[in-house]
Structure 1
């Protein structure tokens, strides 16, 4: 930019020289190129392109004028050059109009801007009339066309000046495109006026030409996006039409006519009375219109302000919030009406902040403390919630404070008050629902666990102990199944009421889930006396019948107790009570058990056993052993009972009495039982196939209660028979009485399906605790097995026990085969044979044998049969079980 300005100065110092002319056109070329480059880069619509067209037309006019001088030696007063020059004014004026219009966003602003431009234009026309237009018009030596063209230049300058004034007054703060256009038009105006009053100029390169050059350069600069973008975006982006500056422009324009009149009177040149009068009249009319717009704008602004005030007032009246301003001396500075609406009182009763505190029911000490926090925060927002007591009701208020004492518009501490009572109550209700049982209203597991933890903490500080008493109802499922869930809910509700009445006021009663309840008992000592007393009272209150569906129902409960101090957690103490509860359930109905550390060890051992058991089948850790079954009449081996054995690599040999219940609890018994069936059937089929003399040999497998309840049992047995090729009549399935009584209908259907396969059924452990005769009438079986507990009572030299005699006679009466288990002594075998018992098994004949040893026993029996050379009589079926 500096080199270009240097070129402008240099050409002004070389008037009428070729060098001055060359410098002039060099600067013009720079201005044209810069204008188009800026317009293309700015991307601000058509306005920058109009400015570029104006600069270009001006440059083309200069070039054409110079061509005329070079060709004809002189330039005509009026020619095509003037078309280009005047076109440049029109293009620049259009660009200025577009730039100003883009910034005036409302209709009122556009009308005001047009009036301001007219005021400046009229004033400028009056001035240029006195300076040049009047002399040009009065010059009779000039042709009429020449006069019109020469007059058009200052008129165009005046119009352009008015447009520029409009542009400058509507510019954005920090934006310099408007001032650049204004300076450019001023340069052109000065040069145009100077051209009219000086002698004819025949070439370029003078100070007069410097004005046109500077104007072109400034217009080129105005197209730049950098000048059009504010350096610092202001909050009020556009100067509004009601500003004092724009009003001053109109009034200043109104002062131009009298000033011109004074100047002409002082100089004695011209007779401008009519011109001044006409311009004064026009300007007065324009200023009147401008003032009318200002008054309308002010009225509209006041109306908007009043509307906003009414809007804010109505919002405050219907809002649950209120805002007040209090100075640091606790004086109320704001209108108390919103507070009165919030507190349900009148503004007259809230003359001071103390009145507000008293009416709201807030503790004055609390209010002073909260206000001090807000002042001490130093302009930071303080949010608190304070309790209140108003009209006999507990309430809560949310208070938000910020100290704006240094703000000239506020001058105090802003206090925002909100009634949050409803939310507080909702929070409490939600907390109650979250922490209490929905049916009984008692504490739930979450709240109970928390209170146990608090009680344990109190034992650390004050001594004593905390006891957890867990209660589980006996037979609750039967109530649900027989009377329905509504009756079950009614029972739970009644039990909850009885438990609450049976404990002390400071004890916590909870429903942990289902039919399981718990009581937290805080004890003065370390023993369990208070807990045992509570457990006794619980059993007593539950012993009274409950009226359900018009009938009395009696329930009992199992109770577990665990006592702890602060060295345990609430979760572990509740878990210990659950272990004691499990022990009470196992022991029977209406029992109380106190936690013993051995219970946890047993649980851990059970978990470890289950963990090892899960991979045992896949690892091949199971095997079957076979115990022979012999006829008591001739001691012949007629079959085998398959018994399951497990040797764990980590636990060693584990008895069936331990791992079978664990497999049932873990859901593994079906998979293990299916393996036992396949293995036993495969072994029996192989023996019968490999040893023709063992064609009548049988194999029996025991199924547990869990297997009998499984819908897959019949399919597993059918698959095992099909895969092994063992005839169905060679397989005996042995079930216990306890497996049949759990679900008699399902058990009867399952046994019928098994008999349909063609296999035989045996009833194991007959007579041990249930109505055996009823079971024999309900379930059709082929074999009765006398339990080993009865056989062991048969002493030498004494007659057969009545229970054994009765079982054998019952079997004979029903046409069943009778088999005795656990025969270990010869006198037991003799008495059983004398009593007509068919067969037996036990250590007297053989212990459970590995497969090869059992096969050797079978071969020995086959050999004896062959040696006797007599047909082998049909032998009774021998039972085997996998446990």
Structure 2
């Protein structure tokens, strides 16, 4: 194999062609030049051990040979030096003896260069051998890693340069240094000298290295240096440079057996700045968690809680330690969700369907279980939170769930209150007409459709309670009756308040209660009672009209997607709960059943039939009633068309003064029906009232009456035409469009305001709010007069007259009828006349039919008279001719 070539100062390291002596280590001077190579692979796998425990070749022209001198690894740069044409593949060099590649290996002359380097000649495919210097690292197994440094340019065509040791240090961003503890001298690599901002010279004092550091960091470095020298503790430290640039060096040093210290230094300024920015971001994130007003939690791969901020701890009433490790689903209050009709329970962190990897989503509010602090861990009400979930998948496949909990408990409470208000009556708390309609529709779509019953209950004489005791008393009575219904209705039935004094009972299956007849009697019995109100015992009863699904031919059309209604439980509660669950699930609500309106209409028609026979009765919808209801519906449609097509007409009945002059004419509506001829109000006003058309009818009468009155001739020598009086029952003071409607009608007709009288029953004029009074006073100031119609049928106290905002009082015909023969009627008439005169009102007697009545009323001081004694109501043409004839007298008795 050849004789060994000793290397001076190499401490036993000798290289012969094809041979490396095991156990040899490079000397200090050799490591001066090779130091960068020695530390470079620390970042790159390194000669000190790659992933397989073997040294990794440095970049550039480097190779490895084994204990037998065979090449076992080679960089492409070596092949390029051997064959500049690039034809030589590195793999062809593997297994070849090192002597075939390198010739004349010898130590460098210490006078000519640094101690410890080798020189040799690199054999090439063409041309003369290339002089190279060699830096070698022995391996424990007996081989070595060699780096070849060409000493002359490679010949054409493609010169190849290998890196110098300084180049490798610069590439690695590392410098190295060595201190001889015996002499205190230090040696710095060129790269380290540049990092420290020092001039490069081979030797300097160790103290100079310490002086290059920032004064604030010198003491800490000195303490670690002392530990290194004293007991060999490896030195690891960061230190700032003292040049004011703020650069940071990472220093590593180790004590060698020969009493020297070998160290490395790298500029980690950028890395430390990045780490500081990361720490700042992390701290900001931690601070954000602490001060965030919403709950925030981190869950691990197993969906166990890792971290919870204070807001979430407050929501749940538990500390972070108590929450840590809890599974996500353990935070849910499934009982509260079920009670709220939230539908089937789903896992708290359930991914959206079809999602994978890192993903974010939001989900509907969930109920969280909470505990009251300071209450011995007692359970408290659920906290409802909207969830916003973000799932992050790490490089190692791990998963982190970031969950934001937004407390919506109060918002849900408000929402539930609004939803309750939308479906329940404000006064009694019973379900309202909307809830009733939804329930009936749902029942008609279920298996008990033909047995579904609806009972309309109208309180008898309830208006008298309001009129005599006041509206507060009426409200109190309604509340008490609602409570009785809730408590005493049979199972499977529920009450609702439709409007005013009308209750409606719905039953899922009337057969469970003996049929519709028996159930109607039961409901009527519940509402037949005596209740103390405002210190008085008020006896009350109700008239009931009922209909059942079989009456309208309802057939069960079960919806398999909707659960059935339990016929023994509250049907309204069940339906509203199911509707809420449908809404939360994002499903479309079921369409209304087409028979809902018919069933309720027929029950209402049965109520109308029952009321026609007196109070306290009940009636069931049968064929005749259904036919009547259909006829009423047909008449309602025709009435609507009549108002549009001007099929309605007005007749006018004079109101005359003691001198016979016509002062006012009351407008009375008639319907010129295309099939039934002229119809009087008693035939169609109930239809208009049931269909809520009274307001539209009043508007038509008002517009038509003022338009016709505007062209009436004068009724006396003063040249003034009579006023026109219009009865209002659907358009009342306080309605949103009342004032505008009156102003618009009068201005369009051109009628003076002082020729318009608006008649209302006394209950419409009592206890008016201030806004309504302001509207009335505005019209009164313009000249309009208000009249109390049918006075005496409402409030019994004459003192009420002083509080009514009216200028005219019309004495009801019930008192006028007996005024000539009955002392009590005459006494009432006298009291009314005297009181109206005292407070400056005009008293008009209604229903004057004979001369005896007229004589008595005239003697009592009545201001004006209306009745058949003077004239019946007549068409406008006849009324105009009557005005032209002059004053009327009882003997004239015009026929309508």
Shorter-chain TM range is 0.3 to 0.5
- Which structure carries more strand by proportion? 2
* TM-score between the two structures when normalised by the length of structure 2: 0.41
* TM-score between the two structures when normalised by the length of structure 1: 0.41
Instruction: Between the two structures, name the one with larger relative contact order (CA 8 Å, sep ≥ 6).
Output: 1
User: Rg larger in 1 or in 2?
Assistant: 1
